[in-house]
Amino acid sequence: MAMKSSALRAIATPVAQHAQGEVSARRAAQDIDAILASFRLHEVRRYFQQQHWLEESAAATAADEAEPGLKLENVAAHSWHVADAVLVLAPQFDDLNPGRAAMLAILHDKLEMITGDFDPVGPDGRGTRSHAFDPGAAARKQLAEDQAQRIYLNSLPPPARRLQEDLLRELRNASTSESLFVKAVDKLQALAYVYRKKNGEMSLEHLAFSMRYSYKCLVYFPRLSIHYYLLLQRLIALVAERRGASPDDLLNVIVDSFGSYLIGT
């Protein structure tokens, strides 16, 4: 899956021109701000410096010194952030059921407790040999998830199994508007994490990969286009600032260096 060449031009387009009837540019900016603000919860530790937890608090302080700022994201945190973003974004689309979408979001990566996290970047740093862009690797990932789903569902009591089997089927088949929306928000949240964690300090290759991989957001749910382009423009502007360049100049370098890769040719 690659970006359309028109998408590269769209990145340089003022965000207001991407606005659709459902969402204004101003509202989309508020939404992105809300999604990014939720990362502040990572700074709030439960049990920290409480009685009976002092040894663990000392270890946590040492961990913060070793990895200051936002930590590498675990799957539980990612799933919560996707669900949080769903509750920010879904109410703007009248045909979506926010509650159903939130349940799908909570569950969307649950099978990774068995499979582990799948690396989308892969050994070449571009995703061309991973499930991100390689159909064969994507098929192998699906087979692993099929097996993990059987194991996971068999571990649940019958009422929970019936509910979650239905949700997993809906999500993995992308059979409803809510499931497509959650898949899109999953990619948008990953881009938000890159923006917050990397803080503009990233290689051009990583930026190109992030642009192409997150573009799946629009493949799944095109009505999030203004949110996608706004967040991507913020990321490019931050990377450009760190490099002492303008966003337009940086985007030109990206297109010159990775244009074929971005559009999959």
- What CA–CA distance (Å, rounded) separates 73 from 77? 6
pLDDT above 60: residue 20:
no
Domain span holding position 15: 5-263
Domain count, the chain: 1
At 260, which amino acid appears?
S
Quick: pLDDT tens for 194-227.
Answer: 999 999 999 999 999 999 999 999 999 999 999 9
The mean per-residue pLDDT over the stretch 133-152 comes to 97
Quick: pLDDT tens for 35-80.
Answer: 999 999 999 999 999 999 999 999 999 999 999 999 999 999 999 9
If phi > 0 it is left, if psi is from -120 to 50 it is alpha, else beta; for residue 122 that is: left
Beta-carbon contacts of 11 under 8 Å, excluding residues fewer than 6 positions away, are: 211, 229, 232, 233, 236, 251
Q: How far is CA 214 from CA 2, 77, 133, 208, 239, in A?
A: 10, 19, 12, 10, 16
Question: What is the residue whose two structure tokens read 């930590």?
Answer: 71
pLDDT above 80: residue 134:
yes
Whole-structure pTM value: 0.94
Beta-carbon contacts of 77 under 8 Å, excluding residues fewer than 6 positions away, are: 42
pLDDT above 60: residue 16:
no
Spatial contact of 250 and 12, defined as CB atoms under 8 Å apart: no
Which burial class, exposed, middle or buried, applies to 159 when counting CB atoms under 10 A from its CB (0-12, 13-18, 19+)?
A: exposed
pLDDT above 70: residue 132:
yes
Half-sphere exposure of 150 (CA within 13 A, CB side): 5
pLDDT above 80: residue 229:
yes
What tokens does 24 get? 């204004």
Task: Grade residue 146 by pLDDT with cuts at 50, 70 and 90.
Answer: very high
Model pLDDT, residue 3: 75
Model pLDDT, residue 11: 75
Q: What is the CATH number of the domain that holds 247?
A: 1.10.3210.10
Quick: pLDDT tens for 104-130.
Answer: 999 999 999 999 999 999 999 999 999
* Widest CA span in the chain: 59
Name the CA radius of gyration of the chain, rounded. Answer: 19
Give the number of residues written for the chain: 265
Task: Grade residue 13 by pLDDT with cuts at 50, 70 and 90.
Answer: low
Beta-carbon contacts of 3 under 8 Å, excluding residues fewer than 6 positions away, are: 211, 212, 215, 262, 263, 264
